[in-house]
């Protein structure tokens, strides 16, 4: 049975022309060989598996070639090349600094530099993973590296250039190797598959290339693994199953559903992904990369930035045509924030679900009521089934004495409608001398009011909105309201007032604003001190009532109670009077477990 050799070794480049993805660098090295202008030390740095050690061996072989080609390549036929190919060359030494990093190893290496080459021109010392040398070893290496013998050339290779001493860096010619692009990796895998007689799907090779993350050696290792699993027929489905990679189809589906605001379907898809063993953070990072690719596919100038197969590029372009740019920007922002908070979150799945819900809401229109006002509330998530607000009960109006219908007899002329006279509703007409007891609605308590969730939370003292705030949308409204509406909004305002106004808020709870002549509101207080305190914040109180009762014409007057007027009852006293008149109210309070403040 023929000995099996992994693809990373079997198809390792043996000349500069066969090196993948490093054309500028290999051209520079070939020109140096042709011109004979060689430095005494080179530093090859870059990520893993991009050809640093391979290029160092090819360069060392070309330097000692007795009959190099016209383009700077080794001939492969001379004694030096044959000795190198058969691994018996005494002019090329390799040292793994990861395991030979002490001062003694470097001193032994320095002693070998004194012996001139027997065949060829130079002795080449290749030190791999040079950043692993200890500080003492670096210091022992410095003098020889600065002034080596004329027949010695050092080639250092490392993946972490920042760990090398600056004194070493200043003595070397530095070559930075690039990461392999997905396109270069796919093309190289195609050539290997053709030589091995393996059939493949280009999308499957694209998955392998993305998994390799820019390393050709990693790509070839994954390729061997996939070829073994697929038994010579590499398909997309088998590759993602073998490598446990999340299918890119999930990302396309999530974005399509998000544009259509289909949150339930996204939640079901997310649950299926998690049940397959994939982490929610992996889904978010992959989706962010997907959205970035969709954004790049919108513009022909950025289309080459997509490191994907040709079939995937077409799918990205099709989805980009459906997604508005603001949606893509906002989605990237939300996923970036989720990625930042993911590690610190105690409930990671909930964080991912909330992020996907927010993404699915980006293109959803705001839930604006029929009145035109825009309340500060969340959009409907799963179905747009917002409860319609109940219309306000308008005050009854009395028709004019002369009906308008009488003008219908005249079909040839049009006239202006005659002014009508309206009578104030009996429920809104109050006089100071005949003020009835104010009856609160059943089940009305201060504890319940504190639990009431108002659509607009108040943050401005003393619990008011600025009427010039652009968020206020009712500046031109003239809606009618009842005494009960006035009392309810008054007590809600008192409960919203900050802690620093707790004293005046408590006193205001025992005050009874009354509609005297609609929409004029009168507030009767016990003494001059209370009147002064109310006058200080009267403007804010009035603004609050106008905003929440949706009537800009409301006026507020403050008056001190006269002696002949009936004593003003507190809320508790009002309730006690009501309970005396109707004992069933007390039974109802006990049944509903209501508490009095």
pLDDT for residue 20 is more than 80: yes
Pairwise pLDDT comparison (593 vs 443), residue with the higher score? 593
Reported as a pLDDT band with limits 50, 70 and 90, residue 267 is: very high
Mean pLDDT of 437-443: 41
CB atoms within 10 A of CB 467: 16
Rounded to whole angstroms, the Cα distance separating 211 from 255 reads 23
- Of 175, 162, 324, 359, give the one whose Cα is nearest residue 251: 359
Backbone angles phi and psi of 432, in degrees to 5: -60, -30
| Contact by Cβ (8 Å): 343, 317 | no
184-204 mean pLDDT: 87
Say which range, 388-392, 532-536, 584-588, has the weakest mean pLDDT. 388-392
Of 261, 256, 257, 255, residue with least CA distance to 382: 261
How far apart, in Å, are the Cα atoms of 214 and each of 21, 183, 269? 10, 10, 30
Residue 357 CB-half CA count within 13 A: 14
pLDDT of residue 357: 92
Per-residue confidence band for 563, with pLDDT thresholds at 50, 70 and 90: low
Phi, psi of 41 (to 5 degrees): -150, 135
Q: List % helix, strand, coil for the chain (3-state, nearest 5).
A: 50, 10, 45
Checking if the pLDDT of 345 tops 60, the result is yes
Task: Look over the chain and give the mean of its residue pLDDT values, rounded to a whole number.
Answer: 77
pLDDT score for 356: 92
Torsion, Cα of 569, 571, 576, 579 (10° steps)? 120
The stretch 232-241 carries a mean pLDDT of 86
Q: Are strands 520-525 and 199-200 parallel, antiparallel or unpaired?
A: unpaired
Q: What is the C-alpha separation between 393 and 380, in angstroms, rounded?
A: 27
Kindly tell me if the per-residue pLDDT of 471 is higher than 50. Answer: no
Q: What is the dihedral of CA 213, 218, 221, 222, to 10 degrees?
A: -10
pLDDT at 463 over 50: no
Which domains, from first to last, does the chain contain? 7-176 (3.40.50.300), 182-243 (1.10.8.60), 248-360 (1.20.272.10), 426-591 (no CATH)
Band (pLDDT 50/70/90 cuts) for residue 445 is: very low
| Chain mean position to CA 348 | 14
b/e for 168-192, b at 16 or more Cβ within 10 A?
Answer: beebbeebebbbbebbbbbebbeeb
CA dihedral 107, 109, 112, 116 (to 10 degrees): -120
Residue 488 in tokens: 């309810």
Q: Which of 76-90, 131-145, 310-324, 377-391 has the lowest mean pLDDT?
A: 377-391
Q: Which two tokens stand for residue 329?
A: 């920007």
| Exposure string over 271-286, b if 16+ CB within 10 A, otherwise e | eebeeeebebbebbbb
- Return the pLDDT at 404: 37
Q: Looking at residue 292, what is its pLDDT?
A: 92
Q: Are the beta carbons of 473 and 374 closer than 8 angstroms? A: yes
* pLDDT at 558 exceeding the cut of 60: yes
**pLDDT (tens digit per residue) in 53-79:** 889 888 888 888 888 888 888 887 888
- Ordered DSSP codes for 301-343: TTGGG--S-HHHHHHHHHHHTTS-HHHHHHHHHHHHHHHHHHT
Residue 428 DSSP label: G
How far from chain centre, in Å, is Cα 490? 42
pLDDT value for 268: 92
**Rounded to 5 degrees, what are φ and ψ at 258?**
-65, -40
Token couple for 207? 């998955």
Structure tokens at 528: 């001059």
> Given this model, what pLDDT does residue 81 score?
83
Residues 545, 520: Cα–Cα separation, whole Å: 11
For residue 91, pLDDT over 70 is answered with yes
- Convert the pLDDT of each residue in 503-544 to its tens digit: 888 888 888 888 888 888 888 888 888 888 888 888 888 888
Q: H or E stretch including 102?
A: none
| Three-point CA angle 526, 548, 423, nearest 5° | 75
> Which single residue is written with the structure tokens 């980009």?
320
Q: What is the mean pLDDT of residues 322-331?
A: 90
Residue 426 pLDDT: 41
CA separation for the pair 365, 376 (Å, rounded): 14
pLDDT digits (tens, 9 = 90+) for 126-168: 888 888 888 888 888 888 888 888 888 899 999 888 888 888 8
Of 179, 168, 94, residue with least CA distance to 131: 168
Select the more confidently predicted residue: 233 or 373. Answer: 233
Tally the residues of the chain. Answer: 597
pLDDT recorded at residue 379: 52
User: Which of 9-18, 191-200, 311-320, 437-446 has the lowest average pLDDT?
Assistant: 437-446
pLDDT of 383 reads: 46
349-360: pLDDT as tens digits: 899 999 999 999
């Amino acid at each position: 049975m023929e000995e099996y050799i992994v693809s990373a070794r079997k198809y390792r480049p043996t000349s500069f022309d066969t090196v993948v993805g490093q054309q500028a660098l290999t051209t520079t090295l070939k020109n140096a060989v042709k011109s004979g202008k060689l430095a005494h030390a080179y530093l090859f740095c870059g990520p893993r598996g991009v050809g640093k050690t391979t290029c160092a061996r090819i360069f060392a072989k070309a330097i000692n070639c007795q009959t190099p080609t016209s383009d700077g390549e080794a001939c492969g036929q001379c004694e030096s090349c044959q000795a190198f190919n058969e691994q018996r060359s005494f002019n090329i030494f390799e040292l793994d600094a990861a395991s030979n990093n002490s001062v003694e190893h470097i001193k032994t290496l320095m002693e070998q530099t004194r012996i001139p080459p027997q065949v060829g021109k130079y002795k080449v010392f290749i030190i791999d993973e040079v950043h692993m040398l200890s500080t003492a070893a670096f210091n022992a290496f410095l003098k020889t590296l600065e002034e080596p013998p004329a027949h010695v050339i050092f080639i250092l290779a490392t993946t972490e250039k920042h760990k090398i001493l600056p004194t070493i860096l200043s003595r070397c010619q530095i070559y930075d190797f690039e990461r392999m692009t997905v396109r270069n990796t796919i093309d190289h895998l195609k050539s290997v598959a053709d030589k091995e007689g393996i059939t493949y799907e280009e999308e499957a090779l694209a998955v392998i290339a993305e998994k390799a993350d820019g390393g050709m050696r990693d790509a070839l290792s994954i390729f061997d693994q996939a070829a073994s699993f697929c038994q010579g027929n590499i398909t997309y489905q088998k590759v993602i199953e073998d490598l446990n990679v999340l299918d890119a189809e999930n990302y396309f589906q999530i974005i399509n559903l998000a544009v259509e605001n289909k949150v339930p379907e996204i939640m079901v898809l997310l649950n299926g992904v998690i049940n397959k063993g994939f982490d929610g953070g992996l889904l978010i990072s992959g989706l962010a990369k997907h959205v970035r690719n969709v954004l790049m596919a919108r513009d022909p100038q950025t289309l080459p930035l997509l490191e994907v197969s040709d079939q995937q590029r077409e799918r990205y372009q099709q989805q980009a045509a459906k997604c508005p740019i603001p949606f893509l920007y906002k989605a990237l922002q939300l996923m970036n924030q989720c990625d930042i908070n993911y590690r610190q979150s105690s409930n990671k799945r909930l964080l991912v679900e909330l992020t996907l819900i927010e993404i699915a809401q980006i293109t959803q229109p705001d839930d604006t009521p029929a009145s035109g006002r825009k309340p500060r509330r969340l959009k409907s998530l799963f179905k747009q089934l917002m409860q319609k607000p109940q219309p306000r009960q308008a005050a009854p109006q009395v028709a004019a004495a002369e009906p308008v219908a009488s003008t219908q007899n005249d079909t040839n002329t049009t006239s202006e409608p005659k002014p009508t006279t309206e009578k104030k509703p009996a429920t809104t007409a109050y006089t100071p001398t005949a003020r009835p007891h104010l009856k609160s609605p059943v089940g009305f308590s201060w504890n319940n009011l504190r639990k009431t969730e108002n659509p607009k939370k108040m943050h401005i003292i003393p619990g008011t909105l600025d009427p010039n705030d652009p968020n206020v949308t009712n500046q031109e409204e003239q809606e009618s309201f009842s005494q009960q509406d006035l009392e309810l909004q008054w007590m809600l305002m008192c409960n919203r007032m900050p802690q620093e106004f707790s004293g005046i808020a408590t006193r205001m709870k025992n005050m009874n604003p009354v509609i005297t002549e609609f929409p004029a509101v009168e507030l009767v207080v016990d003494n001059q001190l209370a009147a002064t305190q109310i006058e200080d914040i009267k403007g804010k109180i009035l603004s609050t009532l106008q905003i929440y009762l949706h009537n800009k014409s409301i006026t507020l007057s403050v008056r001190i109670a006269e002696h002949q007027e009936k004593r003003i009852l507190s809320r508790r006293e009002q309730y006690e009077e009501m309970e005396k008149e109707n004992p069933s109210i007390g039974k109802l309070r006990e049944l509903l477990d209501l508490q009095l403040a």
